[in-house]
Structure 1
C-alpha cells in the first residue's frame, strides 16, 4: 500500500493503557470505514484517500496516545490537488485530537496533555 504521512499528533493520558485503550475504541468513527485492529492499535480507512492510525503505549505518567493520518491514494499530487493541498488539515486534525484527548481525560477523571512531536 502506498501511503504518505500527513500529520502526527500525540498526547499523554494519566491513566493505565487498558483504560485509555477502551476509551479510544469507544470513540470510533460514526461513518462506514474499514477497521484493522492490533495490540493496542487500531486503523480506520475510508473515503478514497484517508487512513487514520491510533495507538496506546505505556508512558511514565500513564499512557501515550498517538494518532497518525496517512494519504493512501496515489499519485499523492493528485490527491493533494483535489484536497486543496490539504491546507489547514494538520491544524484541524491537531485541534480535533486535542478535544478528543480532553474528552478522554474527562471520562477517565485524569489529566491529559499534548506532546510536541
Structure 2
C-alpha cells in the first residue's frame, strides 16, 4: 500500500528503540502482534484484519537507512474490501508519511 525510505544520522539501535516504543504492547488495533528482530533490524506490527506495518533499519555508509512499508494482509477473498471498509484511507498516505518523518526527526533528522 505504501513504502517510504530515508536515512538518518542516528545509530541503528536508537532507531529500533524508537520504533519498538512506538509500537509497544497495544496501539489500538485488536488483536495485534509486534515482532522484533533486532539482529536483522526488523520490527513489524500487525493488527486488525488487514494492517501490517514493517520497518527495516540498516547501517549504510555511516548512516542508518529506515524503510517503512504498510501492507494489506487481509485474506485473499477480502483484500479488495480494505479501501472500501476504511474511510480513513482518505489522507492515509499523508498521515503515514507525516508519522514516518516525525520518527526520523526524533531519531536525529533525515539526510
TM range (shorter): 0.7 to 0.9
- Which ranges of structure 1 fall in alignment gaps of 5 or more residues? 1-5, 106-111
Whole-angstrom distance in 2 between the partners of 1:22 and 1:84? 31
- Aligned residue runs from structure 1 range 1-117, under 5 A: 6-29=1-24, 30-31=26-27, 33-38=32-37, 39-74=40-75, 75-84=78-87, 86-105=89-108, 112-113=109-110
Q: Secondary structure at the match of 2:5?
A: strand
Runs of 4+ in 1 over 6 A off after TM superposition: none
- Which ranges of structure 2 fall in alignment gaps of 5 or more residues? none
Whole-angstrom distance in 1 between the partners of 2:46 and 2:19? 16
Match of 1:109 in 2: none
Whole-angstrom distance in 2 between the partners of 1:103 and 1:19? 10
TM-score where L is the length of structure 2:
0.78
Structure ranking higher on relative contact order (CA contacts 8 Å, 6+ apart) = 1
Cα RMSD of the aligned pairs, angstroms, is: 2.1
Cα distance change of structure 1 residues 85 and 20 upon mapping to structure 2, 3 Å threshold: closer
Task: State the aligned residue count.
Answer: 103
